[in-house]
Structure 1
């Protein structure tokens, strides 16, 4: 529950990650002649580069009468330029110009019939312009160089465009990114607007979106942070202005307001001339000052109530330091005194002691103002007011300094660990450097953070808490309720189909840019992984950590939920168990003192213990875990808490469309063995016997164990430490249960399973086709098919459903390769579409399956993508020990990548067609659909298979 809410909020804000200094970081920052800031950070630990462009233009800069502009601009900057994404700009331009004029007229027109006439003319001009458009050419070219993760994000204060790519494709990547922001053309505007509608529908179906917006509307009474959402209002989305959008781009997408950021495997001096040659063509310009919005302090406790959530919850909001302010660092530490990953904070105690189902704090350091929100869920039939008072009591303890000096030291150590882990990722490093630019900070400042953290005292924390956590605050109570949602009508215009076979003038030039050859070297596991038998049936696989002193160990035992579903409850309870003679709070504090995180978990085939922390502290953590497992105690209060948490989780399963769809899909795959059915009724959870749960967990620890360790100690040293400190490993005596999973149900005919949810704005549609088990030699062809059929914006599914017809924001399909060669494979697809578009989207998807369009001209791009992306997909050092077991499970006796690369090169389009005809074309398609029946042509569903109406209780155990 806590992770769900934090994850939901993280989607709404740009993440801010704590960094820590290292010795002389090789970071270079400078400006081009046109004012473009360039930030370069070499990192040669992996053969990949993460590149991005950021502009200091966000949702707060939207015109007052055109909300959502920054976000929509983000979408349009994937559509090409005067030379990219078009076969003939001079012929396309008159139609684009006319579309600009028509949208300006539409915004001034209130009469419905006149609006429809204008929209029809817009569609006519869009079709005419579409004769010259090459949609998704940007994505196509990124794929051709092996680029992955192509995306963008609009925040309140900035917008970022990014992806990852192989280092030998640097010149092509620089050339493409320099082009895509130079004379952009906002083509395919009408259809992309429908895609934005679908994105809005998707967020509107998530209860936390509306709740967060309602809270922020009162938190920021003047500022756009609260007065308008990033995606924009329905009214403004219905009346977009291309003229205003172009002006937005002209004003704010200036090089002197932007930065290019590259982190990864490159030579700085070699690429600096390339950057200058390609990006200096951007024209410098005057950037308007950001508007200033003044927010007054809250007047004491300002309070409001809503009914907008499937569970009762509360929120307390305080003004906090803005991003980049002098107080921000100490404030971050202050929040960790309340809530931290070690679960030793003052608010953590409310959960550890079973006084609250959820307490968490979300810190949002916007550029102009900061916001910190404490969210709490007391449980059903519990007083929100009493829960609020408990939160305030803990805040008062913080302000009085009623916490130990040790917790401050432990927080500093935790932040050090976070920094070290951040440096392992080129993506996270780039995000942090982008953050410094957007906030006007020196990029080197992120590396000075640890020294500043070390200097923070307990008194500094007390002072900052008293400065911001005053009596002035905003409080919200939300009881159960489901607010009315805006309705958007299905468009009535003809879809624009672009020239997918054509090449733009830019692409002709792009393909002539040379790329440096790159040889993929096999990973020699006999060199990279040391294997030691610690005890009989206990095998240690050891991999090296070349970057830092943060080690991790994962002990897996080969018995999982597929063998005993009670393990899900046993491992959950064990995460709040404590050794006999010690309280849970004291045990958490003892683990916190080691700065090692720990968790017990169970999956389908395994039960595990994971520990991560400083190398020199791991033996202490082993000893604590061993003492816990010798005489574990699970309190009866913890069982009651598990019951309450499960009730809330299952309440959300009843109301959240995505969860209902997941339950229905799992039912189709596994029937009564679905994870949502093969579980205890909630009422039985409160009857669980703590001792029985301990026995179930301990029993799993008697099965064959694979231990995966990454660190700096030798395999023999680690083995010796385990022998001395993890005596529970001596209990291993049984052979493993195996890694075969529950067989997937077989369907001989087309069937449609439907659950009605009248609150859904979107239909959630899953489909699947049974498949045979996968042979290792088939994998390269499967990967090629996946790229052709469902591969991002260049795949058939997303192009046909989203890009050409605007039926969805999210859609995809994939032939899923199991992680164990003996398990069933499956082809599955997904689309989320406005309920009244369900039949239209299904018709398109079914058409792709039954009569796959053949575009052999894409084959070279697919081969290039597979070969080039293989460079960046090697994975980091922490995954090396796992490859030893994974490759064996897949049927390989050595690194398969070099052989796969050769196989990619020898593939042809006929191979994909033959695979499709054998595996997909004539097979039964089974559909899982959740949506509002009154908006769906239920009779129309029957043409896709025998219709079976299900209810929630059919696919979920309550």
Structure 2
């Protein structure tokens, strides 16, 4: 189809006395998202897509630059600049910019000198001087005013990310706050000021230290070096080197900002509920005066030569062994990447790909997957494989290469390619329902230089691709010229953490507020009226002929369906259920092989799965509505006629036992296990599982019977889809076989949180450069719905986002952590207890600092009326603009039922919020968290911890890795 842009003039009256303005935009015929693409006179791109489902808008502001453009002498610069973009401008983040500026300039000069000095003693003295000047500058700094602004307009998801080619700033805003949002962002992108530099740099240090235990990051870096030896994709990482992080340059950051943060290098991407004519006028009002640059150039690098034979590297780390293989491909804008997206599905789509049916299904290794990682200059086609116990990494490599040879020889079903295209279209339909997915697609198109017409026509184009074209492509590109990384398990002696510098805490200045923030807080917008659920009218409660309850909502938007058999019991009732579910994935029936089962579901563009929770279980089927009946018959056939495969069971048990051993190597898995053990004791969600002897000896028929017997227990059917009520009931009656008399739900032993009557310290071992720590408190207090408004506002005020007390005190003021928060948690079911916890990841040598700060702010809650009003305002605006839709309505009802209420709790919260006072929050925190005993759960390397200081708090209990995992 030839692209003919549709140019439309939209005349808008911007206000009394102002002239109308006209904005031209491009569209693509047949675009289901009906995206408008504007280009303002200064070059700023604006992508707008309307979706009226809920009164919110997903916004991304994407800058076409990332670590690829970092100066070689200051790697990590793009990422660090991303952090600094949250520090404010001339008008916010400061009480007096004119007085602040001389000190900021002095700090910049001092850093330029500091980075040229190598003598450690001199560097310490220079850093002390920087710290001293920073204290003076901090008198004018108002930390986290950006987050205050976002809270005041009811934004969610305030964040940003940096990668090789992009830095992107993320907000989800209520639809009535476009003007305030645009005003804030316009100021931010044109008038960014670098302040709070040394404490934020310490937060980036912490992020770097966390990355030292991330073996996957190290593998990607090693792959990059081999594929792109003279290009930043291979020569530098997004987070930067230790030496460069130790020697930052504010001057370089400013120059980088001036060069790349210009309108003709930026795109604003928005999807949600808005009038595009009004939105583009608003964006023009706040961004139109932004000066374009005629000098936006990107560093150029030599063409990266193709490899002609395999090259390899070895990475050492504590996590489980695996291999990563990669082939260099063309940049993301090339149509080659569309073909690669299909090939990745031919190899591994989770059901019927070559890896799925020939490696994963028969469990010839622990797992293999493939995906295309596209970047602007080049792309990487990545394959990852994990070995079975005793299997060599080269064996896994050979298994993968054998399947790639099948791809090159066309040894895959003729039905697979059309099934892949149908499933890709299904995924695209799901993405259109989601504002974040729409906006993310705009970012990718802009950053990668991909025309939106090409993106819209992708699925029509792929529908015409032939098997022979795939084979020819694979033969050309999947040569012996690949890179392979062998990830071995062991101690990485090359990794050194960045030491803690001497930082004097800067003041949080909570009581200060810029005039800009005051104006935004007090601005008047047309309010969004909240919409609460009415459990009597928002969905239909039906019955089948046999009296099975059916919760029904009709999908009038598209032909997608979501069907669930919902059971009110789970692993608390039967610890075998998760393992029965997992084993089922490897089984066929008396008529179909396991491979055929997966291929048939995939061919129907439908997904089937069993999901086992703590006290609920779902058998789920979703996909294209036109295929629901056939998919439902297939699902029932599998559930009722699964056939024992003893060889598959033996392999499954071997893989499960290896997976348990691998979990013990993962820092995050260790921390999850410690957290569960510390909160629930020995009977908890991590340890409640069959031991190895039980697994090996169980009769697999018992697991099959366990799943087949589910239909004989009382359950409900949940449905969201295009069928009318009578059609649905008839379909269920005909295809869902149940017993004449259903059994009662089996009793379960609930996980029960332990109380904390005294201070305790539990340490579990993990050799890393940082600690993970939780302080946990529970006095068996039951949930009271009347307190829910206090809980939500307290969490927003104290431990939530960047405007919370925790973030300000631990990160903004002192640079103690990259990740820190706290929460007062209420239970998800009746008769369970509330509990409180703090969470932090920090360096080993900062542990006691973190504990002292946490305890200080817990025992004496900092009180700031303005921050409290912001927290209350943010909570109200988020509730008002929230919309629960589709199956979310039914699950909200079921969740309320579990908590012992029969109404939407948000209605009560919203009604209570206006009368809530700061004194209410202070009293709530005093009664529930201040001066309370805590159980300190610390995962870390004891030889690097301050044990003597810990012993002054409470006796130390050492728990082993085997103890927390239970195996």
| 8 Å CA contact retained: 2:362, 2:586 | no
The answer to whether 1:514 aligns with 2:524 is yes
Of the structure 1 ranges 548-557 and 102-111, higher mean CA displacement relative to structure 2 is found in: 548-557
* Cα separation, 2, equivalents of 1:391 and 1:177: 47
1: CA distance between counterparts of 2:521 and 2:317? 53
Q: 1:851 to 1:946 in 2, by over 3 A?
A: farther
Instruction: Write out aligned runs for 1:219-618 (5 A).
Output: 219-285=227-293, 286-308=295-317, 310-484=319-493, 485-534=495-544, 538-618=548-628
- After superposition, residues 102-181 of structure 1 pair within 5 angstroms as 102-181=110-189
What is the CA–CA distance in structure 2 between the aligned matches of 1:298 and 1:319, rounded to whole Å? Answer: 8
Asked if 2 retains the 8 angstrom alpha-carbon contact of 1:558 and 1:700, the reply is: no
Residue 811 and residue 401 in structure 1: after superposition, are their counterparts in 2 closer, same or farther (change >3 A)?
Answer: same
Matching of residues 439-838 of structure 1 within 5 Å = 439-484=448-493, 485-534=495-544, 538-727=548-737, 729-730=738-739, 733-737=742-746, 741-838=750-847
- SS at the partner of 1:38? strand
Preserved contact between residue 344 and residue 592 of structure 1 (Cα < 8 Å): no
Change beyond 3 A, Cα 1:276–1:495: same
Given that 1:42 and 1:268 are in contact with CA atoms closer than 8 Å, whether structure 2 keeps it comes out as: yes
- Cα offset for 1:23? 5.3
1:391-431 residue CA offsets vs partner (Å, 9 max, x unmatched): 11211111111112210111011001000000111011000
Distance 2:632 2:378 in 1: 44
Task: Name structure 1 gaps, 5 residues minimum.
Answer: 1-19
**Whole-Å Cα distance in 1 between the matches of residues 964 and 460 of structure 2?**
54
CA distance in structure 1 between the partners assigned to 2:97 and 2:348 by the alignment: 56
Alpha-carbon offset, residue 230 of structure 1? 0.5
Per-residue deviation at 1:720?
Answer: 1.7
Instruction: Give the structure 2 partner of residue 10 of structure 1.
Output: none
Q: Is the contact between residue 331 and residue 464 of structure 1 (CA under 8 Å) also seen in structure 2? A: no
Change (3 A) 1:748 1:894: closer
Provide the residue aligned with 1:212 in structure 2: 220
Residue 354 of structure 1: how far off its partner (Å): 1.9
Deviations 1:885-909 (A, max 9, x none): 2223334433343332121111111
Q: Secondary structure at the residue paired with 1:555?
A: strand
| Stretch of structure 1 that moved more, 457-466 or 905-914 | 457-466
Shift in Å, 1:62: 0.3
Rounded Cα–Cα distance in structure 2 between residues aligned with 1:907 and 1:275: 36
Find the residue that maps to 2:161 and give its secondary structure: strand
2: CA distance, partners of 1:746 / 1:865 = 32
In the alignment, the residues of structure 2 paired with residue 820 and residue 802 of structure 1 have an alpha-carbon distance, to the nearest angstrom, of: 34
Once the two structures are overlaid, the 10-residue window that deviates more, 142-151 or 322-331, is 322-331
Matching of residue 75 in structure 1 with residue 83 in structure 2: yes
Query: CA–CA distance in 2 between the matches of 1:935 and 1:307?
Result: 21
Query: Residue 934 of structure 2: which of 896, 907, 925 is its match?
Result: 925
Superposition deviation, residue 711 in structure 1 = 0.6
CA displacement 1:126-167 (0-9 Å, x = unmatched): 100100001100001101111000000001001100110111
Q: Is the contact made by 1:312 and 1:478 (CA closer than 8 Å) also made in structure 2?
A: yes
Contact kept in structure 1, 2:227 and 2:304, CA below 8 Å: no
SS in 1 for 2:165: coil
Quick one: distance in 1 between partners of 2:748 and 2:405? Answer: 51
Distance 2:872 2:546 in 1: 46
Give the paired residue count: 938
Structure 1 residue 516: Cα displacement: 1.3
Greater CA drift, 901-910 or 501-510: 501-510
Q: Could you tell me whether the CA contact under 8 Å between 1:68 and 1:236 is conserved in 2? A: yes
Greater shift after overlay, 526-535 or 399-408?
Answer: 526-535
Say if 2:761 and 2:954, in contact at 8 Å, map to a contact too.
yes
> Comparing 518-527 with 359-368, which one deviates more in the overlay?
518-527
Query: Which is further off, 752-761 or 127-136?
Result: 752-761
SS of the residue corresponding to residue 92 of structure 1 reads helix
1:772-814 Cα shifts (integer Å, max 9, x gaps): 1212222111101111111211111111111111111111111
Q: Residue by residue, what CA displacement relative to the aligned partner does 1:231-287 show, whole Å, maximum 9, x if unpaired? A: 000000000000000000010101110011111100011222211111123221121
Instruction: State the Cα deviation string for residues 520-549 of structure 1 (Å, max 9, x = none).
Output: 133334333111122656321112323321
Q: Could you say what secondary structure the match of 2:904 adopts? A: coil
Residues 79-135 of structure 1, C-alpha deviation per residue, up to 9 Å, x if partnerless?
Answer: 001111000001100110001001100111001111111101110111001000011
> Are 2:86 and 2:144, in contact at CA under 8 Å, matched by a contact in 1?
yes
Distance 1:390 1:659 in 2: 28
User: Counterparts of 2:749 and 2:826 in 1: how far apart (Å)?
Assistant: 14
Which position in structure 1 is the counterpart of 2:5? none
SS in 2 for 1:811: strand
Question: Aligned pair in 2 of structure 1 residues 839, 537: CA closer, same or farther (>3 Å)?
Answer: farther
**What is the DSSP-based 3-state SS (H/G/I as helix, E as strand, rest coil) of the residue aligned with 1:669?**
helix
Partners of 1:29 and 1:40 within 8 A in 2: yes
- Could you say which residue in structure 2 is the equivalent of 1:38? 46
Does the CA contact (< 8 Å) of 1:342 and 1:597 recur in 2? Answer: no
| Aligned equivalent of 2:952 | 943
Please give the residue correspondences for 1:871-910 in structure 2 after superposition, counting only pairs within 5 Å: 871-910=880-919
Three-state SS of the structure 2 residue aligned to 1:511 is helix
Alpha-carbon deviation of 1:180?
1.1
SS of 1:812 mapped into structure 2: strand
Q: Deviations over 1:583-621 (max 9, x none)?
A: 111111122221111111211112221111100111111
* Residues 610 and 454 of structure 1, relative CA distance in 2, 3 Å threshold: same
What TM-score does the superposition give when structure 2 sets the normalisation length?
A: 0.94
DSSP 3-state at the match of 1:630: helix
Confirm or deny: 8 A CA contact 2:777 2:932 kept in the other structure.
no
Deviates more, 1:292-301 or 1:430-439: 292-301
Residue 740 and residue 758 in structure 1: after superposition, are their counterparts in 2 closer, same or farther (change >3 A)? Answer: closer
Mapped partners of 1:21, 1:586: distance in 2 = 39
Is the contact between residue 774 and residue 837 of structure 2 (CA under 8 Å) also seen in structure 1? no
- How far apart, CA to CA, are the structure 2 residues paired with 1:690 and 1:388? 31
